[in-house]
Amino acid sequence: MFRRIGTTVVRHPVWTIVAWLIAAVAIVATAPSLPSNSDESSFLPKSYESIKAADLQERAFPSAFTPSAIALYQRTDGGKLTAADNKDIARITTELGGKHIDQVQKVVPGPPSKDGRYSMTLVQMDSKNAGQPKQADAAKVLRDDVKQLAKGTHLDVKLGGSAAQTLDQQDSSKRGQALIGIGTFVIILVTLLIIFRAPILAVLPIVVIGLVAAIANGLIAYATKLFDLQANSSISAILIVVLFGVGTDYFLFLMFRYRERLRAGDEPKLAMVNAVDRVGEAIASAAGAVIIAFLALVLSTLGFLKQMGPALAIAVGATLIAGLTLMPAVVSLIGPKVFWPSKSWQREPDNARFAALGRGVRRRPALTAAVSGIVLVVLSLGTLGYKATFDLAAGSMPKTKESMVVQDQMQKAYSAGAAAPTDVYLSSTDGKPLDKTAFAAYARKLGAVDGVASARMTQVNRDGTTADFTVTLKYEASTDKAIDTVGRVRDVAHADAPDGTRAVVGGMSSIYKDFNAAVNHDYRTVFPVAAVLIMVILGLLLRSVVAPWFLMASVGLGFGATLGATVWIFQKGQGHSGLMAMLPVIMYLFVVAIGTDYNILMIARLREEAREGREPREAAGMALRHAGPTVAAAGFILAATFATMMLAGNSLLTEMGFAVSFGIIVAAFVMAMFFTPSLTALIGHAAWWPGHGDRVEETTPGTGSAAHESAPTAGPDRDSVAGRRT
């Protein structure tokens, strides 16, 4: 199949390129826009209690005031607000309401802080558009107008709240994407120049993958709209890295094989056909493992991850097709001139360093396995200190953004839980009005919960069937203490609800608690499903029952080492209260899927060496010698591109960038190069049971190297690793 693809593409390179260009123009021109949402509640299913509470609030209290934006005032000298300052604040609030800004429904004065240094203006917006670009636009107008109205006074005013957070997140995302894009291009360009010393070849993958990225983004926008998935601006930054990092890996596999066939004397077009023939299964199996791992995210209960899974799968799928069609077409059209001005492609290097490493693995496989395994285990110990944080908005932008500054100042100026109170909604089960005489006793029971600062009944709906009890916690909404407290509030609210009533608990802390439960659900479902599916791919590819088990065990150990190192760096080293709650799920999929790819590349080469008659230890050493350079080059580029996410300036992408890049380094330079080959050497022939894929292949008269070259090999061996060609 792959030979037929290669032959068709090489015979018609111009038409192949034209087809891609037409597809790009059509998809980009017609694709819908991809909105962003930072509202945590929108990522949860309706079955969770916090979402039920939000729905009940909309039905029972449709006109309830819920501020989407908060203008926070303080004096420029930091002193207490004077009577004149309060008069200015009242004037600004009135004039702001009179501007009738789109999306703004109501503007009212807010309470002053207890120390008299702060006051607020509260702005209510249309709740149907929460977290959407419309409200970000409204927040931009509000921010400009309120600052303009405060000119000439002694007031310093900043705009915060959910709408302002959406605005700041968009701005931060655009800046982060630009930095990530520039960093990714520079890394790919410089690294390929060092490897091949050919400017055309260094620029080519950036241009080709850029075209693929445009198509992938359009297809993702279609899928998001078609399946009504949640979108988040952070996904765009991740897509840049996945597309260019994985795409460059596939480009490397293709070019290493193309160069090898040219060295063997193939005519240029035949060399590309043979390259696609041999490398096609390598790219397809590698992409298949990644796609399946990403698609496992559709089992997630979180909208963010449920959208991310198909989005990344689409991106990798588009890259896979490009790796088998567009890349070969472009390179075959250019021919050997793609390597200009370097002449090194004409001769085969010795790979002395990797040969020495291979000899070490061959002589002492037990020591190599033990040392590399101990390193992974020690790093994995950091997972014992793992803690999660759930504030997606705060995690997706720097703390210096205006809305984050307002959030921090409000927590200091007002009680920690006052900025995001918890609401207990008590409803009649029979449709009759509630017994108001029971309200006081119920509020006292809620107020007596450990961690609650106060509790009071604030409003009853028009029919008298639902009452809202506002519960103020002693802790900031996203902290572990607040989440634990809201769990106790739920217990009391449910257990002590008067006869004929039922209670649901809402508010941000309740959302974070459900967010935590959803992530834990994903750990129990996404992790094992992804692992089983990848093991099935490994079993089919390697024709072995034994190999998939120890390959997945080594990758799992790599995941533990990666999470442990991330905990030590960010929680212990930088003092973060915890890691973003979704990080382990995302990291698991990247590290497991991509780590499995590098393991496949190495063990496939090991199998190839064994088929040539070498014993397990010698085969392991030769595999490292020949496959090591390709794994190192691909691993370095992919790790470096993911590391560019740390330039985004927000904790979510910084933690993700470090974790995934570190995981890839572990997968390429510890697992694939040392742990997996040494472990395979120790297990010996039993590693390939029941297929015995390492046995010497029988040849029939008339077959030989030439005949062998014309047929694709089983597995991604020779080309995926391209050992002697680097």
Residue pair 198/331 in contact by the 8 Å Cβ criterion: no
Residue pair 325/21 in contact by the 8 Å Cβ criterion: no
Query: Is residue 62 over pLDDT 70?
Result: yes
Nearest to 150 by CA among 191, 121, 186, 183: 121
Query: Is residue 157 over pLDDT 90?
Result: yes
Query: Is residue 29 over pLDDT 70?
Result: yes
275 vs 352: which has the higher pLDDT: 275
- Give 414's pLDDT tier (boundaries 50, 70, 90): confident
- Rg (the chain; Cα; Å): 30
440: exposed, middle or buried (Cβ count in 10 Å: 0-12, 13-18, 19+): exposed
Q: What is the mean pLDDT of the chain?
A: 82
Mean pLDDT for 676-695 is 80
- Range from 40-54, 97-111, 178-192, 525-539 carrying the lowest mean pLDDT: 40-54
Query: Is residue 706 over pLDDT 50?
Result: no
- Range from 51-60, 273-282, 422-431 carrying the lowest mean pLDDT: 273-282
Mean pLDDT for 42-64 is 82
pLDDT of residue 488: 95
pLDDT more than 70, % of the chain: 86
- Give 151's pLDDT tier (boundaries 50, 70, 90): very high
| Cβ-proximal residues to 533 (8 Å cutoff; 6+ apart), any chain | 292, 293, 296
Distance CA 308, CA 299 (A): 12
Q: What is the pLDDT of residues 359-413, one digit of tens each?
A: 888 889 999 999 999 999 999 999 998 888 776 655 556 677 888 888 788 877 7
- Give 431's pLDDT tier (boundaries 50, 70, 90): confident
Q: 0.75 cut: is pTM over it? A: no
- Exposure class string for 669-699: b at 16+ Cβ within 10 A, else e: bbbbbbbbbbbbbbbeeebbeebebbeeeee
Nearest to 122 by CA among 85, 163, 81, 150: 163
Residue type, 274: N
Distance CA 519, CA 581 (A): 7
Query: Is residue 492 over pLDDT 70?
Result: yes
- Range from 73-77, 253-257, 503-507 carrying the lowest mean pLDDT: 253-257
Query: Is residue 231 over pLDDT 70?
Result: no
Distance CA 82, CA 104 (A): 29
pLDDT of residue 623: 84
Nearest to 447 by CA among 504, 417, 489, 395: 489
Residue type, 208: V
**Distances from the Cα of 126 to the Cα of 138, 303, 403, angstroms:** 11, 22, 19
pLDDT more than 90, % of the chain: 28
